Structure 1
Amino acid sequence: MNTLTIESICLLSATFVGAGMVKGVTGMGLPTVAMGVLGAIMSPLTAAAILIIPSFVTNVWQMLAGRGTLRLMRRLWAMMLCIVIGTLIGTRLLVIVDPVWAGRALGLALIAYAAYALFLPTLSVPERLESWLSPVIGIVTGVLTGVTGIFTIPAVPYVQSLGLQKDELVQALGLSFTVSTVALAGGLLAQDAFRLDQLGLSLLAVIPALAGMWLGAIVRQKISPKAFRRGFLMFLIILGLELALRPFP
């Protein structure tokens, strides 16, 4: 996908409309869906580069949709700093690792996230543990973000375990995803892995991503979010298996 052909535009648009719909219904999942689908047809490195701008725009929107942003930044600053450090390390691995193995790592990350969300209960982390646990979660999340382009493991389960109110939870996830996106972009630039044609594709993806979020908000009013979420997670498991079990060329 090095040039803007009709086929690449249609594929990109369909992927980000679908990913945006998932985010519109569930409040998350745009990078996960986009990386999963694009990672099945191109290298995870290229898919991660295309993901940068639509992910940044939608996550900043989510992060700022409330009054608790500064309070959450003060509470989670150590985790955010370690996400940046871990992502810079992980991005280096993404650049040098064989694309087949990077695809397998992406597939396993999709399966792990979906399995956790489907089958494991939400944990509860006492506030006294946050001072040392937040940096650990940040480093692990960052490394996995750099290697796979997915921001969810283990950041999402951890943030969900902090006992935040609903609006604060949405903002905290938006903060985590925004920091991960910026760190991923910095890591790709540092490795000279963000080309001009990928920037054009990434800009192009913003419109279908926002359109998908708008459609997702409508769908959320029509169907059960829980039913949609189950179907979405099962789809991720199937997609992850396809990536993880893909034979070597």
Structure 2
Amino acid sequence: MDYIFNDLSLWAIVFAIAVTLVAGFVKGATGFALPMIMVSGLATVLPPEVAIAALIVPTVLSNLWQALRGGGLTAAVKSAAKYKLYIFTLLAVIVIASQLVSAMSQQAVFLMLGGPIVILALVLLSGKSISISPSGRGYADVIVGAIAGFLGGLAGIWGPLTVMYLTALETPKKEQIRLTGVIFGAGAVVLGLSHLRSGVLNAQTLPLSFFMILPVLIGQKVGNLVQDRLDQQKFKRATLFVLIVAGLNLIRRGLM
């Protein structure tokens, strides 16, 4: 981690910590968007693959906290069983797609990150959802899980599509928060193991990922207080505006 910090100014380090605090806060308040905010912000001061590595360990821990907060282990297991096909597809594709990160140019990674962030944030912001019939649920689980897994393996981002899918299925709010914790946590574990193989998570980047745990959990704790007291939908709309700006910034960097 020394060489990473040696290449950064003090303001860049402070900026990275601030971004991580904000990401944890939004995660605590809405149940998602931690990887998107972290990788969008950190990629402005770090190479894309280092930004992805930095979010892996805190993402695992924050989602474990989220999954168990709404009813404990029993409730989390019951929720996961309802979506086992989606979860299996997501994890399998993350393993495959994660091996492509190191082979892609920085510009391509920025565009692959920025485009989905903007598009999915706009879809969620518009309030639109896609109705899925019970007979088509299995096919939808595989298709959406594969797309989310590809984005997750490549960019560490599988949250927005998962949230949109659960919304289309009219998942109750508490179960959705708990379930996203399970899905995002399992995905983060697989992503971490895959990037140990790809080389993105290594002796230099792993300490940075551990370093980011504290600001994420502090931010998440404060965000949980907001989730418990304020209208979640209004706050989610505000965070989506922020995500659109972050995604457009990544697209700008990819095109320049």
Aligned residues: 249
1:195 aligns with 202
SS in structure 2 at match of 1:97 = coil
What TM-score does the superposition give when structure 1 sets the normalisation length?
0.91
> 1:219: how far off?
4.1
Deviations 1:158-197 (A, max 9, x none): 1222232222111111111112211211221111221222
Corresponding residue of 1:103: 110
Mapped to 1, the partners of 2:116 and 2:249 lie a distance apart of: 12
The alignment status of 1:212 with 2:241, answered yes or no, reads no
Q: Do the aligned partners of residues 170 and 247 (structure 1) sit closer, same or farther apart at CA in structure 2, a change above 3 Å counting?
A: closer
The question of whether the paired residues in 1 share the 8 Å contact of 2:33 and 2:160 is answered with: no
Contact 1:146 1:184 in 2 (8 A): yes
What runs of 5+ residues in structure 1 fail to find an aligned partner? none
Q: Equivalent of 1:32, from 29, 36, 45?
A: 36
Shift of 1:227: 3.8
Equivalents in 1 of 2:219, 2:116: separation in Å?
Answer: 24
Question: Residues 230-249 of structure 1 correspond to what in structure 2 (within 5 A)?
Answer: 230-246=237-253
Partner of 1:160: 167
Name the % identity: 26
Residue 135 (str. 1) matches residue 142 (str. 2): yes
Which is worse superposed, 71-80 or 134-143? 71-80
**Equivalent residues in 2 for 1:44-55, closer than 5 Å:** 44-55=48-59
Partner AA of 1:170 in structure 2: I
> Which of 81, 84, 92 is 1:77 aligned to?
84
Matches of 2:85 and 2:44, distance apart in 1: 34
Match of 2:100 among 93, 96, 105: 93
Please, which of 29, 41, 60 is the counterpart of residue 64 of structure 2? 60
Alpha-carbon shift at residue 124 of structure 1 (Å): 3.2
Whether the 8 Å CA contact 1:159–1:172 is kept in 2: the answer is no
Q: Distance in 2 between matches of 1:237 and 1:167?
A: 26
Once residues 40 and 149 of structure 1 are traced to their aligned partners in structure 2, the CA distance between those partners, rounded to angstroms, is 16
Greater Cα offset, 65-74 or 132-141:
65-74
Contact 1:109 1:148 in 2 (8 A): no
Q: Secondary structure at the match of 2:157?
A: coil
Q: Is the 8 A contact 1:44 1:149 kept in 2?
A: no
For 2:160 and 2:105, the matched residues in 1 are separated by: 22
Q: Is the 8 A contact 1:113 1:152 kept in 2?
A: no
What is residue 193 of structure 2 aligned with on the other side? 186
Q: After superposition, what is the alpha-carbon deviation per residue over 1:42-72, rounded to whole angstroms, capped at 9, x for unaligned? A: 2221111110011000101111222422222
Counterparts in 2 of 1:242 and 1:49: CA distance versus 1, 3 Å = same
> Pairwise CA RMSD of aligned residues?
2.1
**How has the CA–CA distance of structure 1 residues 171 and 247 changed in structure 2, closer, same or farther, with 3 Å as cutoff?**
closer
Look up the equivalent residue of 1:74 and give its one-letter code.
Answer: A
Report matched runs for 1:5-44 at 5 Å. 7=10, 9-44=13-48
Rounded to whole Å, the distance in 2 between the matches of 1:123 and 1:168 is 19
Paired AA for residue 127 in structure 1? P
- C-alpha contact (below 8 Å) 2:106/2:254 kept by paired residues: no
